[in-house]
Amino acid sequence: MTEGLWSLLVDSFWQILLPGLTMTLPLTAVSFTFALIIAIAVALVQFARLPVLRHLARFYIWVIRGTPLLVQLFVVFYGLPHVGVLIDAVPAAILVFSINEGAYCAETIRAALESVPPGQMEAGQCVGMSYLQVIRRIVLPQAMRTAFPTLANSLIAMVKDTSLAANITVTEMFMVTQRIVAWSYEPLALYIEVGLIYLLFCTVLTKVQHFGEKKLQTYGYQGG
């Protein structure tokens, strides 16, 4: 490897890592938080079989899971301005990532809710708790524990999906890398480099996931 390429990689490492820390990770964290809120609501609406809302929930999941994330980003950022709805790049990215991830996580949480034995709800109601009290204190906590590994998986996938935001002018890691490639003409080395930084982020998150799963091994259950 030439000395020039080496110093390019070292310099660009920090140039790429910085938007990783200030954009990619915050974008992921904020979007995933909103996604979880949406997902819990959408899952509960279906679990409780609420008349109209559960059909809306199914429609939402059907549309979002059936269309590409990139298309959703383009619709919101390039499409909506044509009908007068202008959203800045970062808020548009947060909006789309939240709604998109929310649909997938909703299915995870719904499945986890349905895996809680019905006897838990019956017992809760028999000690006098209302339906919502049992959901909040008994059923949902058990479901979230079940859903945790799958949700962590979705979070890790989302870190990488944020690279799509480069297409709607969000200055995140991948966009910065593209810019460096544009003047340095070193696409192979630089794209591998940004890939490794994503890998680094995801490795850390995987460690956090394993730590979290260990911590969650409460309720007296042994083993994984």
- Summarize as ranges the residues that interact with other proteins (CB under 8 A): 117, 119-120, 122-130, 133, 137-138, 141-142, 145, 218-221
Give the Cα separation of 187 and 3 in Å (integer).
17
Tokens of 128: 């006098």
Distance of CA 161 to the CA centre of its chain: 8
Please say which residue, 15 or 133, places its beta carbon nearer to other proteins: 133
Q: Given the complex with other proteins, which of 75 and 126 has the nearer CB atom?
A: 126
Q: How far is the CB of 142 from other proteins (least distance, A)?
A: 5
Residue that is written with structure tokens 């998986």 in the block: 153
Tokens of 173: 């890691």
Cβ distance to other proteins smaller for residue 2 or 218: 218
Tell me how far, at minimum, the Cβ of 116 lies from other proteins, in Å.
Answer: 8
Q: Looking at beta carbons only, is 84 or 118 nearer to other proteins?
A: 118
55-81 as b/e, with b when 16 or more CB fall inside 10 Å? Answer: eebeebbeebeeeebeebbbebbeeee
User: Cβ of residue 141: shortest distance to other proteins, in angstroms?
Assistant: 5
Cα separation, 157 vs 160, in Å, equals: 6
User: CA–CA separation, 33 vs 108, rounded Å?
Assistant: 15
Contact (Cβ atoms closer than 8 angstroms) between residue 113 and residue 44:
yes
Nearest distance from C-beta of residue 118 to other proteins, angstroms: 9
Two structure tokens written together for 159: 């870190």
Q: In angstroms, what is the minimal distance from the CB of 223 to other proteins?
A: 11
Instruction: Pick between residue 54 and residue 145 the one whose CB is nearest to other proteins.
Output: 145
